[in-house]
Amino acid sequence: MDETLSASAAVPLGEIATVALEAGRLLMEAGASGRFVDENVLKVARGLGAETVDLRIGYASLSVSVGRGAASLTRVRRLGAIGVNQRLDHAVRRLAADVELGRYQLAAVREALEQLVQGNERYPAWLVALAVGTACASFGRLLGVDWAGIGPVWCAATLGQALRMQLHARRVNAFIGATLVALVTAGLSGGAARWTGSATRDTAMIASVLLLVPGVPALNALNDILEGRPTLGSARAVWVAVMLVFATAGVWLAQALVGGGS
Amino acid sequence: MDAGTFLHQTLFGGVAAAGFAVLFNTAPRALPWCAASGALALAVRTLALGAGWSLETASFAAALVLGSAVQTLQARAGVSRNALGVAGCIPMIPGAFAAKAILALVALTTTAPEHAAEVLTAAAQNLLRVTFTIGAIGTGLAIPTLLLRVRVST
């Protein structure tokens, strides 16, 4: 941390940096691409009175330098697990836009950010599981799974998503969790597809684990590289690749257990 | 391409996008927009594939059309335009090809792999298809955004 000077203006630079980093942390953990994190941290910091703002976005941490006149200050913030939370992402962006327009003072911004986290509404777990099961069944149809295989895909993916949320709540490592979920999900769908007489069992097994494919991080990785943040984009791409390998390991184990070949 | 196939792909593309939008905690009033995004993307991709285009080119065209469409929408759907574009493209992410490629590579590591050359070729084809398709989707989505930003800043 490099703290060189404290300004005498209304809002201390340290407070600006802390609040701006908190907004950036929420956006990163909600699955925003680097550009949006950068833009919104800038809006918050400038809205609170910083004249210069420079943000460095890493995969596991953010650091920001804010300055006013001759004074400048740098702060670093560690990031938690990166997921996807569109409602939180949208709410933070709206708040940042209001802060930029001068509608919020420091204490109000801090309070609003806390409220966004505490008041962030989520769908019930059972609904998420059913929705993911339905999405995977739809993927199955898009990939050519026959109707006999769709029921197994739907059931297995629904149960797989429920298991995934349980593992996440117990803080199981994301990669190990992906292998476990893929093993259970592909095993269930493969076994059930055999029972229903599906002629597309292998594809059904793969369709049921598509809930584990990190599509948003994959697109963010490319966006970050396209928009001049190759380090962040590469880190995301490596995470995506490792996640796919671990998920596929679960499918491979399931194929060994229930058999494949159709 | 028959109308049944087109409607089938469009319908299930929309359902898949909406299902994943729930997983992504998208606001309830934005879910129909996400479904429409997914349906639009799959409709364009299906038409392009039916016209004989490759998967990569068809995915690029679908992402480009979707990216342009969401840029014309006002952010009144309870979700950002960028997020709407991403939600619509999720059904086109080639996760199944990635799984097939890795499974083929695993098969090559056995002590005496059968038809090793064919398996290796299939793995390489699938890996390249994954890479190029994700690149095509990301680029197709990014182009309208980048062009709009250039227009706004000049």
A192-204 pLDDT per residue, tens: 999 999 999 999 9
- Count the domains in chain B: 1
Is A231 found in the same domain as A212? yes
Taking residues A100-112, what's their average pLDDT? 92
Q: Lowest-confidence range among A235-249, B69-83, B102-116?
A: B69-83
| CA-to-CA separations, B152 to B54, B70, B146, B147, B149, in angstroms, rounded | 34, 16, 10, 9, 5
A256 closest CA partner among B92, B107, B52, B97: B107
Question: Between A8 and B106, whose confidence is greater?
Answer: B106
Give the SS3 label for residue B71. Answer: helix
pLDDT band at B150 (very low <50, low <70, confident <90, very high): low
Q: Is A135 on the interface with B (CB under 8 A)?
A: yes
Q: Is B31 on the interface with A (CB under 8 A)?
A: no
**Interface contact A215-B139, CB threshold 8 A:** no
In whole angstroms, how large is the CA radius of gyration of chain B?
A: 18
Taking residues B123-128, what's their average pLDDT? 92
CB pairs under 8 A between A and B: 141
What's at A57, amino acid-wise?
A: I
How is residue A255 written in tokens? 């194929």
Is A19 found in the same domain as A70? yes
Selecting from A31, A128, A136 the residue whose C-beta is nearest the C-beta of B22 gives A128
Please give the mean pLDDT across all residues of chain A: 92
Domain membership of residue A242 (yes or no) is yes
Distance from CA of B51 to the nearest CA of A (A): 18
Q: Is B117 on the interface with A (CB under 8 A)?
A: no
H or E element, residue A57? strand A52-57
On the question of pLDDT at A184 being above 80, the answer is: yes
Selecting from B19, B24, B80 the residue whose C-beta is nearest the C-beta of A84 gives B24
Dihedral sign, Cα of residue A141, residue A146, residue A150, residue A153: negative
Give the per-residue pLDDT at B78.
57
Give the per-residue pLDDT at B148.
74
What's at B2, amino acid-wise?
A: D
Give the range of the structural domain holding residue A162, as residue numbers without chain letter.
125-258
Give the range of the structural domain holding residue B52, as residue numbers without chain letter.
3-153
Per-residue pLDDT reduced to its tens digit, A2-43: 444 444 446 899 999 999 999 999 999 999 999 999 999 999
On the question of pLDDT at A63 being above 50, the answer is: yes
Per-residue pLDDT reduced to its tens digit, A187-239: 999 999 999 999 999 999 999 999 999 989 999 998 899 889 999 999 999 99
Is A131 found in the same domain as A99? no
Q: Please tell me which residue of chain A has the smallest CA distance to B96.
A: A206
Give the per-residue pLDDT at A66.
95
Is A160 found in the same domain as A77? no
Per-residue pLDDT reduced to its tens digit, B29-88: 889 999 999 999 999 999 999 999 999 999 999 999 999 988 877 555 556 777 788 889
Is A49 found in the same domain as A133? no
ipTM: 0.89
What's at B10, amino acid-wise?
A: T
Give the per-residue pLDDT at B76.
57
Separation between Cα atoms, residue A124 and residue A127, nearest integer Å: 5
Last residue of a domain, one of A63, A86, A118: A118
Distance from CA of A136 to the nearest CA of B (A): 7
- Count the domains in chain A: 2
Taking residues B124-153, what's their average pLDDT? 83
Strand residues in B11-148 grouped as ranges (E): none
Separation between Cα atoms, residue B27 and residue A221, nearest integer Å: 24
Q: Is A185 on the interface with B (CB under 8 A)?
A: no
Domain membership of residue A6 (yes or no) is no
Question: Cβ distance A36 to A92 under 8 Å?
Answer: no
How is residue A40 written in tokens? 């919104």
Q: Which ranges constitute the DSSP H helices of chain A?
A: 13-29, 34-47, 86-100, 106-118, 125-143, 147-169, 174-196, 201-208, 215-226, 230-258
Selecting from B26, B95, B137 the residue whose C-beta is nearest the C-beta of A219 gives B137
Distance from CA of A1 to the nearest CA of B (A): 34
Q: What residues are paired with A68 via a beta bridge?
A: A71
Domain membership of residue A3 (yes or no) is no
Q: Looking up tokens 């990216």, which residue turns up?
A: B67
Is A135 found in the same domain as A43? no
Domain membership of residue A7 (yes or no) is no
Q: Is A128 on the interface with B (CB under 8 A)?
A: yes
Is A183 found in the same domain as A163? yes
Domain membership of residue A8 (yes or no) is no
On the question of pLDDT at B110 being above 90, the answer is: no
Give the per-residue pLDDT at B75.
54
Distance from CA of B30 to the nearest CA of A (A): 10
Domain membership of residue A137 (yes or no) is yes
